[in-house]
Amino acid sequence: MTQSFSTPDSDKSIAIWLLICCATVFGMVVLGGVTRLTGSGLSMVQWAPIMGILPPLNQEAWQETFNLYQQFPEFQIKNFHMTLEDFKSIFWFEYSHRLLGRGIGIIFFLPFLFFFFTGKVNKSLTPKLVTMFVLGGLQGLMGWYMVKSGLVDDPHVSQYRLTAHLSLAIIIYAYMFWVALDLLSPKTSSVAIATDQKLVRLSTIISSMVFITIMSGGFVAGTKAGFAFNTFPLMNGQLIPDGLFSIEPIWHNFFENIITVQFDHRVLATLLFLIIPTFWLKSRKLKLEPMSHLGIHLLLAALILQITLGISTLLLVVPVSLAAAHQAGAVILLTAALFVSHQLRR
C-alpha cells in the first residue's frame, strides 16, 4: 500500500473533487424530482446496472421495451392510452436519472482510486471516503427497491421507500459537503474568536430541522398531498383542518393521511421561518468571522427563496418547474445551514 503523505494542496484537491460530487448529487436529487413529477419513475421495469447503460437503439428495441412496460399495472390501469412515442417521453427522464446515478459512481470511484494509490488520502480520511462509496451503492439499491413498490397491482411508489431514497441522497450529499469543508477549513490550535455556544447549538437545530422538513417533503411527494388544499395559509378555510387524525392507528396519519402530511410540512416550514430570522438577529449582535456572517446572510436568503417557492408551488397546484425548483431550494437551504454550522464550529 502506498504511504500516505497528505498535504494542504492534496486536501484542497480532494475537497474540490468532493464538491464536484456534491454538485452531481444535487443534480440527481433535482432530476429525481422531475422524474417523479412527470410520472416517469416506473417506465423502466428492469434493473440492469451494467446492461442498462445503453438505451434502446432502434425501433425494434424501443418496441420491445414498450411491450415490457405494457405488462405492468401502470400501463394497464393508468397509461393504457399511451403510444410508443408517449412512452419515449417518460422513458428518457428515468433513463437519465439512472445514467446520472452510474455517472456519479464513476466520478467518485475513479478519482478515489487515484488519490488513494498516490498517497494523497490520509488515514483518517480513508474510512470516510469508503463510507461515502458504500452509501452510494446502497442508494442505488434503495432506488430499485423504491421502483419495485410501484410494479405491483397498485402502480404507486411507496411514500416510505421514496422518502428513504430521498433521505439517503441528502445524507450522502451532506456528508460529502461536511468532509469537504473539513478539508478546506481545518481546525487550528489557536482560536481567534470564541463562538457563542448557544449559537452553535441553534445552528445544529436548524440543520436538523431542515433535514426533517425535507423528509416531510418526501411524504408530501409520495402521497401527492401537494395537490390538495392549494390555499395558504389556511387549509380548506381552516388553520387546523379537520381530519388530522382520521386514520387508525394514529401514527399512520403522519405518513399516509394527506391532510396530516401537508399540515406537518407547513408547520415545519413555519418553524424554520421563525427560527432562522431569530438566529440571524442573534448573530448580528455577536462578533463572528466574516465568513460566518456571510453564511448566515445566505441562510436567511435561502430561507426566503425556499418559502416563496413552496407557497408558489402549492398555490399553482404543483407545476413541474416550480416543484423541481422547490426541491432544489431545499438542498440549497440545507447547504447554507451546514456551512454556517461548520463555520461556527471552527
Q: What is the DSSP string of 125-194?
A: THHHHHHHHHHHHHHHHHHHHHHHTTSSSS----HHHHHHHHHHHHHHHHHHHHHHHHHHS---S--SSP
* Average of per-residue pLDDT values in the chain: 92
pLDDT of amino acid 158: 95
Share of the chain above pLDDT 70, in %: 95
Q: Which of 186, 204, 222 is the last residue of a domain?
A: 186
> What mean pLDDT do residues 105-120 have?
94
Overall pTM surpassing 0.85 (yes/no) = yes
Query: Cα separation of 141 and 53, whole Å?
Result: 16
Q: Which of 127, 160, 186 is the last residue of a domain?
A: 186
pLDDT of amino acid 194: 53
Q: Extract the runs of DSSP E, i.e. beta strands, from the chain.
A: none
pLDDT of amino acid 52: 72
pLDDT of amino acid 192: 45
The tally of domains found in the chain comes to 2
DSSP-assigned beta bridge partners for residue 238: 235
Q: Read off the C-alpha cell for 14.
A: 480532494
> What mean pLDDT do residues 319-342 have?
97
Residues 154 and 302 reside in one and the same domain: no
Binned at pLDDT 50, 70 and 90, residue 87 comes out as: very high
Q: Read off the C-alpha cell for 153.
A: 397491482
Residues 29 and 156 reside in one and the same domain: yes
CA dist 306 to 24, 190, 218, 286, Å? 21, 37, 15, 26
Comparing C-alpha atoms, which of 53, 300, 334, 8 is closest to residue 172?
Answer: 334
> What mean pLDDT do residues 255-276 have?
97
Share of the chain above pLDDT 90, in %: 85
pLDDT at residue 245 tops 80: yes
Q: Is 41 helix (H, G, I), strand (E, B) or coil?
A: coil
DSSP state of 53: G
pLDDT at residue 45 tops 50: yes
Q: Which of 186, 214, 242 is the last residue of a domain?
A: 186
pLDDT, one tens digit per residue, over 162-214 is: 999 999 999 999 999 999 999 998 765 444 455 678 899 999 999 999 999 99
Residues 219 and 136 reside in one and the same domain: no
> What mean pLDDT do residues 233-239 have?
93
Burial per residue of 83-98, b for 16 or more beta-carbon CB atoms within 10 angstroms, e otherwise: eeeebbebbbbbbbbb
> What mean pLDDT do residues 287-305 have?
95
Q: What are phi and psi of 238, to 5 degrees?
A: -125, 145
In terms of residue numbers, what domain contains 97? Answer: 1-186
